[in-house]
Amino acid sequence: MEKKEFIINLPNKKDISILKAKGVFIFDSCSLLSIYSFNVSERKNFLTILQKLAGKNRIWLPYQFLEELEVHRLEKIQEQYEAYTKFKNIIDGQLCKITDNITNDVRISDLDSYQFLKKYKKSYFKRLQDIHKKIIQDLNVAKSKHPDWRKRDPIKEALMRCFNEGIGDPYSEDDERYKEFISTRTERYSKFVPPGYMDAEKNRTDPTKEKQYGDLKAWFQIMDYAKRYKNPVVIVTDDMKEDWWNKQNGKFFGPRVELMYEIYEHAGVHLGMYNTEGFLKYVKEELKITIENTLLEKVKQIEEEKRVSSTPISAGESELGAGNKVDLGTPQK
């Protein structure tokens, strides 16, 4: 099918129905890394969802995203250890500020001549310091008991049990597709062909000059999987960049049309896309899998934190984008 005809026929209700019924969910590393921020109940709920989908052979993980998960999960674990020190430094600083503010407050100084008030001022500082000392002691105890997931990571173990055989293999240097990836990647980026070109800035800080091509390599692996098994795919990603998503008026609606056409041309299947919030709403509404409200709220919180330091996005705008409306990426003709 020519690209013109492909775009004219979007969205197609039959294709959407097939995606809903048979689409395989492909998770990138950033969507899976959110689980390290969940509490025990939220984590259990999310893993139950993956287990149910795995039982229907509806989840898959490209090898490239597996590698990225391994690297960045260690960063997430390290962040948890560093959080204790960061919190301690913050409350130490706040105690100093409070002490300085009280000591230097002119209104308090004016009352120093009243001897009967001095004991209350002294008592205030002592109680404040005692409370602070107790909190620091409790914090140190909690830190000493914090599990060292660098040695044994139960979250990774649970994820690997969910995906089990549903993990792709790496390319070898003899693979024809790997050779195609190597030979075309520079040209694709120079012409802003999605996905991955927005990671080109990683080139400045990466001595290997390879990290910038991670998304593109994963995309090749996704297309190869779709071609081999003839399954439509739905990518679940919180990597909200315009080299993956169709951007309209500063918001993101479904996958880029170029990506939809490329995978259709290569594998003959259709492509959908969700962020994590959209994915959870989909499995709740369409697959009737129980989703705890606390899990949805946590995902919203994580995504909101990401929005603070990035371009504002729409977290729930399209059925095959991120939310409720049926949308394959382009307006209905």
Question: Both tokens of residue 30?
Answer: 């950033």
What pLDDT score does 215 carry? 94
Per-residue pLDDT at 170: 95
The confidence score (pLDDT) of residue 91 equals 87
Pairwise CA distance, residues 177 & 169, whole Å: 13
Question: Are the beta carbons of 246 and 283 closer than 8 angstroms?
Answer: no
| Spatial contact of 6 and 266, defined as CB atoms under 8 Å apart | no
Q: For 294-306, give one letter per residue: b (16+ CB within 10 A) or e.
A: ebbebbeebbeeb
**What pLDDT does 330 receive?**
31
Long-range contact list for 278-285, CB < 8 A, 24+ apart?
278/315, 278/316, 278/318, 278/321, 278/322, 278/323, 279/25, 279/31, 279/234, 279/236, 280/49, 281/316, 281/323, 281/324, 282/319, 283/49, 283/53
User: According to the model, what pLDDT value does residue 32 have?
Assistant: 94
Distance (Å, whole) CA 99 – CA 93:
10
pLDDT at 295: 93
What's the pLDDT at 246? 86
pLDDT at position 22: 86
Per-residue pLDDT of the chain (333 residues; tens, 9 = 90+): 788 888 887 767 777 888 888 899 999 999 999 999 898 999 999 999 999 999 999 999 999 999 999 989 988 888 888 888 888 888 888 888 888 887 787 777 777 777 778 788 788 888 888 899 999 998 888 888 887 888 889 999 999 999 998 999 999 999 999 999 999 999 999 999 999 999 988 878 878 888 899 999 999 999 999 999 998 999 999 988 899 998 887 777 889 999 999 999 999 999 999 999 999 998 898 888 889 889 999 998 888 877 665 543 333 333 344 333 323 233 232
**pLDDT computed for residue 326 by the predictor:** 29
CA distance 84 to 239: 28
Q: Is 47:105 a contact under the CB 8 Å cutoff?
A: no
φ, ψ at 242 (rounded to 5°): -75, -5
